[in-house]
Each structure stands twice: as structure tokens, then as C-alpha cells.
């Protein structure tokens, strides 16, 4: 019986350690060392660009402070209903 409980103890300890260490179970929009960009005049077009590089043609940075960080966070949901123009300004 004791052997059957070991995996649950390990799983619980791993999850608790990850959460205490600041890890999040939410899926990140981009990987480490990348930032999200939006396709111009699109509700769905997005990409991730390495830090230090400019967005590719046809993409713009999200406005400062309004970048989506995690799937379904406030800004991810917001930008699914709002578009950006070629200058990174929100369009009606």
C-alpha cells in the first residue's frame, strides 16, 4: 500500500514546489526570451519574436502595458476583439 502512495506524494510535492517558486500553470503566449506581436489589422494573427529583434513585416508590437502574457489573460482576451494598425495604434 505504501508504494502506491509514493507517486502522489511526489506529484504533490512537485506542484507545491513549483507554485511556491513562482511558476505558473498557465500557458505562456511566448517562450522565454521572446515577446508577442500582432498581425496588422487582424484579430487572430500573432507571432513570437526573439527579444532584441524587430517584428517581421506585417506585424507590430502590442502597446506597452497591454501585452498578452498568458493564454486567456486579460490582454489575450482583449486583443481577440481589437485590432492594431501598421503603427501599433488600436483601430475601431
- Per the domain annotation, does 30 fall within a domain? yes
Q: Give the C-alpha distances (Å, rounded to integers) separating 63 from 14, 20, 53, 60, 84.
A: 36, 31, 16, 9, 9
Which residue range forms the structural domain that includes residue 71?
A: 26-91
- Convert the pLDDT of each residue in 49-63 to its tens digit: 999 999 999 999 999
- Per the domain annotation, does 45 fall within a domain? yes
- Per the domain annotation, does 55 fall within a domain? yes
State the Cα–Cα distance between residues 70 and 36, nearest whole angstrom.
10
- Per the domain annotation, does 16 fall within a domain? no
Number of domains in the chain: 1
- With a threshold of 0.75, does the pTM exceed it? no
- pLDDT over 70 for what percent of the chain? 74
- Per the domain annotation, does 18 fall within a domain? no
Amino acid at each position: 500500500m505504501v508504494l502506491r502512495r509514493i507517486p502522489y506524494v511526489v506529484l504533490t510535492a512537485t506542484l507545491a514546489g513549483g507554485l511556491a517558486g513562482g511558476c505558473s500553470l498557465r500557458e505562456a503566449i511566448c517562450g522565454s526570451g521572446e515577446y508577442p506581436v500582432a498581425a496588422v489589422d487582424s484579430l487572430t494573427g500573432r507571432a513570437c519574436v526573439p527579444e532584441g529583434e524587430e517584428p517581421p513585416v506585417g506585424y507590430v508590437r502590442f502597446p506597452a502595458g497591454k501585452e498578452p502574457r498568458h493564454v486567456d489573460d486579460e490582454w489575450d482576451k482583449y486583443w481577440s476583439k481589437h485590432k492594431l494598425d501598421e503603427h501599433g495604434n488600436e483601430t475601431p
